[in-house]
Amino acid sequence: MDPIKLLVISDTHFARGNQGLGKEITDFFDEVDYIVHAGDFTHKSLVNFLESTGKFIVVSGNMDPMAIKKYLPEVNEIDLGEIKVGIIHGWGAPQDIVERIHPISKKHGFDLVIFGHTHNHLEMEFDGIRYYNPGSPVDKMFAKENTFMLLTIHSKERVEAKFIKV
């Protein structure tokens, strides 16, 4: 399997249509195979912008308005043959979020799960599934720092996560 590169963001919480992602994020667009957003856009302009890249894989989040929730799935996946990547936003209190989304991950047979909601970056394994949260590149309400993630999947056994501070 050739390495697959993902640019992963979540929880952008754009309040207005004139907001945009910083150059520190968009500079990676040409270098990756997929651009993953794990929910909470809160404005359709970012959905439209990322969709125009043709590399866009997303889910809606709990704070997204109904216009976005009707348009985007709550659970999505990237099937890479050897490895099945799940995308779920998450919900509820940040504590034990992995345990909350784990039954959905097991049901879908995901090997690796990208999620958001907590605004804090995280890399962990739980019950044989790897979980990754990119954090939020713009919101520090619940996080000490703003981050996004580059995820390189070499194989089921070898996945590299790089969290980048904004």
Q: Could you tell me which of 121, 34, 135, 124 has the C-alpha nearest to residue 113?
A: 124
Domain boundaries, the chain: 4-165
The domain made up of 4-165 has a fold known as Purple Acid Phosphatase; chain A, domain 2 (3.60.21)
Per-residue pLDDT tens digits for 109-151: 999 999 999 999 999 999 999 999 999 998 777 788 999 999 9
In this structure, are residues 10 and 116 in contact, taking their beta carbons and an 8 Å threshold? yes
pLDDT of residue 103: 98
Per-residue pLDDT tens digits for 58-77: 999 999 999 999 999 999 99
Residues 6+ apart with CB under 8 A from 71: 44, 47, 60
pLDDT of residue 18: 55
Question: What average pLDDT does the segment 156-160 reach?
Answer: 95
Q: What is residue 128's DSSP assignment?
A: T
